[in-house]
Amino acid sequence: PQGTAFVPWAELPRLSGAAGGTSVHVSLAALTGEPVHVPVADAVAEVVPGEDGVEVLWAADGARTRVSFGPVGVTHTEG
pLDDT recorded at residue 49: 83
Integer Cα distance of 2 and 7 in angstroms: 9
Q: Which residue, 69, 72, 46, is CA-closest to 57? A: 46
Residue 64 forms part of a structural domain = yes
Range of the domain at 45: 1-8+28-71
How many structural domains does the chain have?
A: 1
Residue 20 forms part of a structural domain = no
Integer Cα distance of 72 and 69 in angstroms: 8
Residue 3 forms part of a structural domain = yes
pTM (global) more than 0.85: no
Q: Which residue, 66, 64, 65, is CA-closest to 53? A: 66
**Residue 18 pLDDT > 50:** yes
Q: What is the pLDDT of residues 29-78, one digit of tens each?
A: 666 677 777 777 788 899 888 877 788 888 888 888 877 776 655 555 56
Residue 48 forms part of a structural domain = yes
Residue 79 forms part of a structural domain = no
Q: How many CB atoms are closer than 10 A to CB 56?
A: 20
**Residue 11 pLDDT > 60:** no
Residue 67 forms part of a structural domain = yes
Residue 18 forms part of a structural domain = no
